[in-house]
Each structure stands twice: as structure tokens, then as C-alpha cells.
């Protein structure tokens, strides 16, 4: 039952961090998570938000649901 949302069932949004040598070095040097995230995205990592937005574009979920589950602030 979709509970009148227009969607039924569950759908995953994914984010996988491949630990390259650059990322490994940043971790070992105890860089903050924002620095590591920026480097990972530069290397091609797709964030959960980006994966969710791709699914919005495909029409299989809503922007409000993606923002809710990724805890993205809308202010």
C-alpha cells in the first residue's frame, strides 16, 4: 500500500566511497570529512543526494522523499 503517496515499496539510494591512494592519504592525515568528501566527488563518487536526484529525474521517487532520507536542509 502506498498510503496515498503514489509510491509503493522501498528504493535504495546509494553512496559508495572507493578508497583510492589520494583518499587513503587524506584519511591517514586525519583530514575532516568535508575535505575527504570533496576529494571523493572530484574522483567521481556519486553522493546519496545525487543518486536520489537521479531517481527523481527518472520519476521513481519525489524530491521531498529524497531530501527527507538524505537529511538535506531545505532552508
pLDDT of amino acid 8: 72
Say which residue, 12 or 72, is predicted with more confidence.
Answer: 12
pTM equals 0.76
User: Who contacts 4 (Cβ-Cβ below 8 Å, separation ≥6)?
Assistant: none
pLDDT digits (tens, 9 = 90+) for 15-49: 999 999 999 999 999 999 999 999 999 999 999 99
Predicted confidence at residue 56, as pLDDT, reads: 96
The residue with cell 574522483 is: 43
**Residue 45 confidence (pLDDT):** 97
**Distance from C-alpha of 29 to C-alpha of 35, rounded to nearest angstrom:** 11
Q: Which of 35-39, 42-46, 62-66, 71-75 has the lowest mean pLDDT?
A: 71-75
DSSP state of 49: H
Among 19, 4, 14, 16, smallest CA distance to 70 is for: 14
Amino acid at each position: 500500500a502506498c498510503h496515498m503517496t503514489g509510491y509503493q515499496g522501498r528504493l535504495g539510494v546509494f553512496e559508495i566511497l572507493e578508497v583510492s591512494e589520494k583518499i587513503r592519504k587524506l584519511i591517514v592525515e586525519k583530514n575532516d570529512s568535508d575535505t575527504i568528501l570533496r576529494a571523493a566527488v572530484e574522483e567521481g563518487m556519486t553522493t546519496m543526494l545525487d543518486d536520489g536526484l537521479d531517481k527523481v529525474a527518472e520519476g521513481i521517487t519525489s524530491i521531498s522523499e529524497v531530501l527527507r532520507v538524505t537529511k538535506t536542509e531545505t532552508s
